[in-house]
Amino acid sequence: MEFLAQTWQVWLVVLLLLLGYGFGRLAERRHYRSILRREAEMADLIVVTSKTLPESLANGTKAPETALVMGSVVISVDYFKRFVARLRMIFGGRVHTYESLVDRARREALLRMQAEARKLGARMIFNTRFETSSISKGGGDAVGSVEVLAYGTAIVP
Amino acid sequence: MITTTLETVPGRAIREHLGIVQGSTVRAKHIGRDIAASFKNIVGGELKGYSELLSDARQEAFERMIAQAQAKGANAVLNVRFTTSSVAQGASEILAYGSAVVVE
């Protein structure tokens, strides 16, 4: 009976791993496709981290309007990725599965910020900042997810 | 009220500095969202509920900062920054801060 209970748990973990691997990969691929498409659309909206406006913009005949814009997203890690990461934490080194997660979140946040700026008719975004935080510190089986906020100042010509 | 992450407002001189202003809020997720999120935790993907929760919270922190700036008589907040920290398991604090100024 005890043996049965143990095998049941093993099967559950295997099932969750398969679910995580399958759906996680699917979601990631779809997300990357959508990110690449939208990044191409937003390519003409320049985002920079510099604080000062170029001379031509700052001292023009008409000073540009500015607006604070931001975009944020919360992305959850899947079971498979977390499993691989836990294994990785034994040996150390690059955690590839988490790298792609944070990369997706950051690019998505940036795109949402750009979308907001575009709505205002902005041409550029200055002094862009990123902020990343983990929603709950992932203790044990807690929800492991990352929030990324991107914000900056949109310059409306 | 002008808010910007820059240190100046283009084309406008700063008349007066009124000091730092801030607004913050602490939010907890409710259990229903946590259950939905734990499913998402298996398959991965965006947690829309949390995204909304945090942007609402950020908006509130931002508005509190603006209110403080208005109370000081400012008409712009420069160098706005946001920070997020989790104060306890399942609750996060969001802070918005900047420099309140009077511009032309």
CATH number, domain of B34, equals: 3.30.110.70
A94 to chain B, any CB pair closer than 8 A? The answer is no
- DSSP structure class, residue A59: T
Nearest Cα to B96, choosing from A107, A51, A129, A53? A129
Q: Does an H or E element contain A117, and which?
A: helix A96-119
- Given this model, what pLDDT does residue B40 score? 75
Residue of B nearest to A131 (CA): B83
CB B86 to CB A137 under 8 A? yes
Q: How far is A116 from chain B (nearest CA, A)?
A: 13
- Mean of pLDDT over chain A: 85
Does residue A137 surpass a pLDDT of 60? no
ipTM above 0.90, yes or no: no
The residue of chain A nearest to residue B34, with distances taken between CA atoms, is A143
pTM value is 0.84
Question: Which B residues, 4 through 63, put their C-beta within 8 Å of a C-beta on chain A?
Answer: 4-7, 9-12, 34, 37-38, 40-48, 50-51, 54-55, 58
CB-nearest partner of A129 from B5, B10, B40: B5
Quick: pLDDT tens for A9-60.
Answer: 888 888 888 888 888 888 889 999 999 999 999 999 999 998 888 776 666 6
Structural domains of chain B, count:
1
- Domain range enclosing B68: 2-103
- Name the 3-class secondary structure at B104: coil
Q: Do A27 and B3 touch (CB under 8 A)?
A: no
Task: List, for residues B29-82, the tens digit of each pLDDT value.
Answer: 766 666 777 777 777 888 888 888 888 899 999 999 999 999 999 999 999 999
Give which of B11, B27, B63 is closest to A74, Cα–Cα.
Answer: B27
Q: Which CATH class is domain A2-156?
A: alpha beta
- Structural domain boundaries in chain A: 2-156
